[in-house]
Amino acid sequence: MSMDRAAAVSRVEDVVATVEEETMPVPVREVWVYGDVALGLDPIERLDIYVTKDILFKDAPERAEEFQRSHGVDGVGKTVRAEWADEYPEYLRANANGHAAPEKCLAAHLLPDDGDEPVHLEVCNASFDDNVTQRLQGAMARDDYEQILDPRGACLWVDGQRSEEAFEKLRDGDFVLPTLSGALEMLGMDDGEADEAADAVRAYRERQEGATVRGDVV
């Protein structure tokens, strides 16, 4: 399933508007797009969105037991905001251990309810550029390239400020970006390794279906 470019850009605009106007489960600092939509493709195979969040340590920990009883989810008021869970209990999501998962909560709040659109949400406490570097170094050390983060991205919103210029370039497909292997070479891979890594990233993306989310902490 592919996605019309205009619909993809509209989806990103909705995400940014939601972050701007509504309480989020954790503080959000940046919203980026990367991959197909930044390259100006139409249609696009997947819409990749990157969100930089703060790690929540203490919000209202005294309410954790209350939410455990009422919703069967631990950690509300610790890892996600209690205020947000009060306002949007339908978006409260837990990991396999029953603990509130910030990335899953963000995905439930920001992505379509039906989950059929080919949209991926990447959530991390690090900025996009820093995480690109961290993930690439880890992938090269392990010879495991599937988890590489496509470095061809554009920042649309940071610390409460929307970049209208970036949105205009996104709508018009005016970002000038290299091939994936070329971008990886610019970050320090040799050409053969960059080609292999680019193939692995593309193969991984092609196996994904519908709305997906991945959380990362560095």
- What is the secondary structure of the chain as a DSSP string? --B-HHHHHHHHHHHHHHHHHS--SS-EEEEEEETHHHHT-SSBS-EEEEEEEPPP--S-GGGHHHHHHHHS-B-BTTTB-HHHHHH-GGG--B-TTSBB-HHHHHHHHHS-SS--S-EEEEEESS-HHHHHHHHHHHHHHHT--TTPPP--EEEEEETTEE-HHHHHHHHHT------HHHHHHHTT--HHHHHHHHHHHHHHHHT--SSEEEEE--
pLDDT at 109 over 80: yes
In the chain, % of residues over pLDDT 90: 88
Place of tokens 């139409």: 42
Residues 209, 173, 185, 194: what is their CA dihedral angle, to the nearest 10 degrees? Answer: 30
What average pLDDT does the structure give for the chain? Answer: 94
Q: How confident is the model at residue 114 (pLDDT cuts 50, 70, 90)?
A: low
Average pLDDT over residues 72-90: 95
Domain boundaries, the chain: 5-24+31-56+116-216
Average pLDDT over residues 144-160: 95
pLDDT at 217 over 70: yes
pLDDT at 112 over 80: no
pLDDT per residue over 155-188, tens digit each?
A: 999 999 999 999 999 999 999 999 999 999 999 9
pLDDT per residue over 31-61, tens digit each?
A: 999 999 999 999 999 999 999 999 887 788 8
| CA 189, 183, 192, 204 torsion-angle sign | positive
